[in-house]
Chain A
Amino acid sequence: MLQILIYGAVSSAIYAMLAVGFTLIFGVARILNLAHGSFYALGAYSAFTMTSLLGLPLLVAAPLSVLVVALFGVAMERFLVRPLRQSQLAVLMITLAVSLAVEQALFLIFGSEYRNVPSFIAEKIAIGGVDISGQRLLALTVGVAVLLMLWLIIQRTRLGAAILAVSQDPEAAQYMGIPTNRIFSIVMAISAGTAALAGILVSPFLTVQPSMGLLPMVKAFAIVIVGGLGSIPGSIIAALILGYSETAVAYLASTAWTELVSLVAVVATLMIRPSGIFGRRAAF
């Protein structure tokens, strides 16, 4: 029971980091970014390259990787997405193409074998009789910290106010003197950065292989829908629900059913309450 509690928390934290970035860029810029999974993968691979091939210590490699991927996200938005903004389908397709290109590039550069990223914390910690690796606990702590920070930024700073303004009405925000394009870039950087951070944190104990971004992408999509597109608290709550139900199913039934959980949750949400838990009624 305690196992489910702790491991579920870890899963939820990672999912939340992924989902929040996804919902942020959608809520603010109306971009359904199918390349979000690529940011996750790029974060992990960047950490791998820096630690294994460049020999940098992990504490340096991690923030550097986050920066690199954030810049990549900003570049993608600026050069590939912005010219196509009139058509949502075009944006969808180009981000999809980017994710395919990234996956193939990783395949070619790093090969298909799983790569090893060293753990930040190598010890095992026992909490109330439950064995958990230090790395997982770190993932949980950092995840929660990042989400809190994000919430603080959005609620308490001017930047956050600007972001909220743009998400409500980009044109009006522009009239008020808010540089919407710059806000888009900043939000994309945050979105890509959190995804990359999630990738870096889990890479020591999960897969690092070229197609690692696909499944988390689909899960993030599912969580965001269940929580409500554009709503951060919604994403967090949905991430908790999904993380815990998956862990519970894995322990009580069998690991084969875990994927089914998120999928069924999505379908159920869509049939019962399509706008999600906290979503506004879709404005399109």
Chain B
Amino acid sequence: MQRIPWIDLLGGLLVLGILALVPMFATSNYLTGVLTVCAIYGIWASSWDFMSGLTGRENFGHALFIGSGAYTAGFMATAWYLNPWYSLPAAVVVAVLFSLIVGFPTLRLRGPYFALAMLSASAIMQRLCLIYWEYTGGEEGLYGLDPIIRSPLYYYWFVLAILAVTVLNVTLLAHAHWGLLLRAIRGDEATCQAAGINVTFYKIASLMISAAFTGLGGALYAHYQLQVSPPLFSVVVSITVIIMAYVGGVGSIYGAAIAAILLTLLTEMLRGFGEYRLWVYTLTLMLILFFLPGGLVAPTWRRLTARLR
């Protein structure tokens, strides 16, 4: 097993520390709220990167796991009035179930086919939520969820902790034998199969792991927003996550998490541009995607710490 470079661990701890301490110097809960959303996107992006970044099977339907986790939390709160803490493990289970249902038939597909299958699956779920509006609340969705932890600051630290656990977990897996196999599958699947590796098992298992953390993030999001609605299943959300992983440096995992935080912060900070906010954001994105095809975060970090490796 490859050891995680100590410099990366140090960097990670530093970032975590800064993130945890920043809200204490802020004058209002606003920043805490923004950072909570940043952290949740970090969970989604890093778990996407684990599966798709390593295997090269781009998952264009990540929103499926986000939405299913969120709606599970939503149903448990509004239909069955259960304690919000139960929604966390429930969301994980539901998301993993979805990954099995969609993953089994589609993971044998190559290239853009898997991407499209996942995209269609999440779009189907979005449609169904709208069609069966009597049960799912339709376009407005479910609202009236209770927060898990009332204090915004403590909830933020809780989410941050989960982000740290997620990134650590998948990074360890990525550096272990598992990661090696996933990368091998990206390289040449046929050879792996010929070498006797159970390629299907690894692909599905990594999708399940990705889905588990993502579903958890979805539930956390639901209990922060205190409502869930169909846009959570939309292709826009999937694309946002992919962009984050891409800007972070596909395959680096920590890059995806950092990029997620940076990009989410960017959308909030650009509010000063008023109507031009999304335009500036899109242009910035285009510049990054064009000039830095390898991503922004991971290559920069590696360059900065090259001497220390």
Contacts and interface: CB of A to CB of B under 8 A. Distances in A.
- Give yes or no for direct A-B contact (beta carbon below 8 Å): yes
Interface of A: 32, 80, 83-84, 87, 89-90, 92-94, 96-98, 100-101, 104-105, 107-108, 214, 218, 221-222, 225, 229, 256-257, 259-260, 263-264, 266-267, 270-271, 274, 282, 284
Contact of A260 (B58, B105, B106, B131): B131
A260 to B, nearest CB: 5
Main secondary structure of the interface of B (DSSP, over half): helix
A282 B112 CA distance: 10
B124 A264 contact: yes
Contacts of A271: 105-106, 117
B255 to A, nearest CB: 15
B116 A270 contact: yes
B109 interface: yes
Give the interface residue-count category, chain B.
35 or more
Which 4 pairs from chain A and chain B are nearest by CB? A97-B286, A90-B293, A104-B279, A271-B105
A263 B109 contact: no
A225 B116 contact: yes
Residue in A93, A94, A107, A259 whose Cβ sees the most chain B Cβ within 10 Å: A93
Interface in B175-214: none
A256 B131 contact: yes
A266 B105 CA distance: 13
Nearest to B108: A274
Contacts of A259: 123, 127
Main secondary structure of the interface of A (DSSP, over half): helix
B304 to A, nearest CB: 23
Interface of B: 58, 105-106, 109-113, 116-117, 119-121, 123-124, 127-128, 130-131, 235, 239, 242-243, 246, 250, 275-276, 278-279, 282-283, 285-286, 289-290, 293
Contacts of B289: 90, 93-94, 97
A67 to B, nearest CB: 25
B110 A108 contact: no
Contacts of B290: 80, 83-84, 94, 97
B282 A270 contact: no
Given A89-B250, A282-B111, A100 B285 contact: yes
Contact of B113 (A90, A108, A282): A282
Residue in B119, B121, B285, B289 whose Cβ sees the most chain A Cβ within 10 Å: B289
Contact of A32 (B112, B119, B242, B279): B112
A108 B275 contact: yes
A266 B278 contact: no
A260 B113 contact: no
20 contacts: A80-B290, A84-B293, A89-B250, A97-B282, A100-B282, A100-B286, A104-B282, A107-B278, A108-B276, A108-B279, A214-B235, A222-B116, A263-B120, A263-B123, A263-B124, A263-B127, A266-B116, A267-B124, A270-B117, A282-B111
Given A259-B123, A264-B120, A266-B117, 8 more contacts: A80-B290, A90-B289, A104-B279, A108-B279, A218-B123, A260-B128, A263-B123, A274-B109
A80 B291 CA distance: 10
Contact of A105 (B110, B116, B127, B279): B279
B113 A274 contact: yes
Contacts of B120: 222, 263-264, 266-267, 270
A107 B121 CA distance: 29
Contacts of B131: 256-257, 260
